[in-house]
Structure 1
Amino acid sequence: MRMQVDGFTFDDIAIRPSKFRPAEIIALVPADGSIPTPAQSRDMIEKVADLFDGFQIGKAEIGRQTAETPQGTGRLDAVKYDQDRITLEGLDIPMPQGQFKMDRFALKSFSVANLMRWAASLQTPGRPPSPDQMVGLFRVLQGAEIKGVVSPYKTTRQLFTIDTISLNWGEFVGPIPSKVNLVVKMVAPTDPDNPALQPLIVAGVDKLAIDLDLGAAWTESSGAFALAPATLDLGNLARLQTRVALVNVPRGLFTTDPAQAMGQAALVETGALEASLRDGGVVDLVVAQFARMQNVSRDAARSAIVAMIRAQGEKIAGTNSDARGAVDALAGFVEAPGQTLTIKLTPRAKVPLMQLMQLSQTDPQSALAQFRIEASTGL
């Protein structure tokens, strides 16, 4: 492989003599050329981290880089460092299946010194890294972003594309972030070799446009944890929006100790739960699949599905009168495609989360009876 780099640029260089002490690093290198012990390696990494603190660069950029390989010429337009962010821009490399392209990859809150100190903390002689040490990486990096990816999909002529993947976290409780946000916008081909995707293949859906926006945050003053927004948009099929609220979430739940986490989880209570599903074609897809399985017409399949929903609803309505309205809304959602189904569950009293999870597995009807149910459909 032959590489070429157009140039390097460094701006805003500053040296702090109290931290910039390369002689101390040289002194740690074994004079006899032997391999440093784990303790020596840890000390050396910490000294190098201090060196990076003492030699600071405000901005740096490596210009266009090209590499000639047997598959062709690859290029990277730039590698940039600016304060606390490192970015790769304009990646274009040949692959056996085709060309891979990426407009941008970025790491947020990036610090070489902090990364090296985290790596040094993992090197404890005779002892593997603890969970707290491992998740310490969250404090070193507080986000990542990918934009503009175009990649060949397996050996097909289809392309896998990513418009955006953005992940951010912060507001730490110990080593654990209490606030997270994930945004994904991508288009993935439907794999004909995946049995779970066969209904989509048969329906002529050769790719899925996925748009996900997921946020979760804990508020210490109120003890509330909210999963919102939580939106999943599957192109021309459906759009799902959910809101999940938990109350009385203790600070002690944010831990890497499983026993402590389980003990604290017993204090958590369920708040209001809300979901809305907008039909963009998924109802007709389910009806068509059911019609093929039963070898009946689509109208007959739709009527059969509605009848099964109502029959199951009659069983549930005996223990929860609110369920009848939800059953009617779900049946109407199937009968008339293109609507939005909205369901909201409000606890009738305190509902411990762990108890609800156990009831959901052993007695779903009793679990549902813990809530008031509001359901509706509309265009």
Structure 2
Amino acid sequence: MTESSRLAGDFDVVVVGGGPAGATAATDLARAGRHVLLLDRGGRIKPCGGAIPPRAIEDFAIPDHLLVGKARSARMVSPSNTIVDMPVGDGFVGLVDRETFDEWLRARSALAGAERRTGIFESVERDPDGCAVVVYREGRSGEARRVRAKSVIGADGARSGVARATLKGGGKTPCVFAYHEIIASPSGDSDAFDRSRCDIYYQGHLSPDFYAWIFPHGDTASIGVGSANKGFPLRDAVERLRAQTGLDGCATIRREGAPIPLKPLRRWDNGRDVVVAGDAAGVVAPASGEGIYYAMAGGRHAADAVETFLATGNARALRRARRAFMREHGRVFWILRMMQHFWYRSDKRRERFVTICKDPDVQHLTWQAYMNKRLVRARPMAHVRIFWKDVRHLLGSAA
């Protein structure tokens, strides 16, 4: 793009999607002095338990007022209703409501200097100079608008239009389908519901291949379920979970559903001027379904890669987004994917999985890895003990 051909609508970066990944990327690039457009479709809230670990709070400066809850333990419930409580220890897991949290992130990007617009992405075209032209509509029947950009970040969800339009195989990653209901919390805590505890149900009648959850959000709670089985009745499963926990009498505030990817794309950039992040890149943790931290981390890596690309003109810099993310989190994703593949296949295996979670070594290393987002290496004998316990459980499950 030559300076003489620059229009008032030109941007250094157009970020498509205003969730945690897109808003983080837009904020970082605007703070770096780039002319950024954050394009979000608006009116959509992703189904999400809303858990964020301490590392996310620290790395992305999340203020305390956004935390609608602080969980200090997790409860695992097996198919036989065996209960395993896992105290966090020192610290807590933060809980946010995505409706408020995501909008705060978008507002922060605007304060950093990004321009916000509401619109539905349609395509990426090319002008005579070969520059990217992002086409979007203000509403489904609105007039098509076009903006030119030196680079584009697609952070528009699991069925990313940007990925489909610009990347080979984009938008086709395997997904778990998630559905949850935000309800009014009961007036007081009980054994079935505790505002300081996240409950996870590994029961085949609630999910044949994933899990169901109850996450407290202060005055509200998220009750949800996920499954990759397209024929599984998610709403019925949530209704059953509410009935078995005595939460069926609580008022329902809203209902939300969406696909959630559980496998990173093999490539996140088009080798020219586009890179994807967050759900569009497939970075939701297998087994746990955790996505907020990884979306924000992916958004930051995408912003770093785009900044280098803009500074150097070298499109190879865009590859750094995936490389940096997988270098930091790829091994954890691989381990979690193996866990999900093996332990979630039947109620017999789910029963043994919950039994493993009783082990103090497992609990300690699980929390340390989750809270700090890295594998724990400080206790090698704990890893050895867990290995042999896992072998015994694996042999028992295979029997």
Name the TM-score class by shorter chain. under 0.3
Structure index of larger Rg? 1
TM-score for both structures, normalised by structure 2: 0.23
Bigger relative contact order, structure 1 or 2 (CA pairs below 8 A, ≥6 apart): 2
TM-score for both structures, normalised by structure 1: 0.24
Is the helix fraction higher in 1 or 2?
2
